[in-house]
Structure 1
Amino acid sequence: MALVGDLYKGATESKALGLTEASNGAGKVLSPIIGSLLALIVWFTPFFAFPIFCVLSLLAVIFIIKEPKQKKKPQPLKQYIGQIGSILKKREDGSSPHSLPDLWPYLFCSAYSFICQISWKSRLIISTE
């Protein structure tokens, strides 16, 4: 969706997003059907077909999607990083753009996810010894 937003504007963007979502929906409907038809041959055939579909999709993206010509020169990296820094600096009234009360749910979820991953990995290590 981000690619469509970058490539198209206005009514063309709406049409492209509609086509993208329609294709996504069709894929969700057709993929179980195709997978089950492949599984009728041998139960593990879908696992071999998946990489083939991935390669076909990659080739389609490489050769079919063309990046439009840039009308303006890209922003220099130093200027881009400077703009990011200005966003993160303190506001004029002295408050930071993101205070800890605003960020604690994200920090909590990140820490919880990290702890779960570590404990899961340690269980795998313990169970394989």
Structure 2
Amino acid sequence: MKLIKNSFPDIDVQKKYSNILRAQLSNQELSLLLLNCLCPHVDNGQFRKLVIHFELLEHLDITYTLGSDYIATFTINNPTMHLTSNEIDLYFSTDTSGKLIKSAFGQNAQIISYCKDQNYIDKNI
């Protein structure tokens, strides 16, 4: 991913090559990527920044649930893992007003729903 980003200045070309890489990753591998990037101390968060830049987690099989206590929970399927909103929020890039700029989850419908509930994006989108 670092090679792709550094080799091609055009984001559309970067996306083309990163999509080829992403298509090769299973849900288990995407889950492992997510877990690997949770700790920023290993590489100062540089790998997570690449995951966000290339939206590598867009096709992750994840379910968002807003409980009756208004606490968001996330479940990754195959393998089953439970995550908190704090862990998911690490994969968002936001502006100073808290609005979403980019997400490692791209256009994942479950994450879009969560972002609308949290007012990270407009509910009309």
TM-score (norm 2): 0.22
TM-score (norm 1): 0.22
Structure 1 or 2, whichever has the larger Rg, is 1
Query: Which of the two has greater strand per residue?
Result: 2
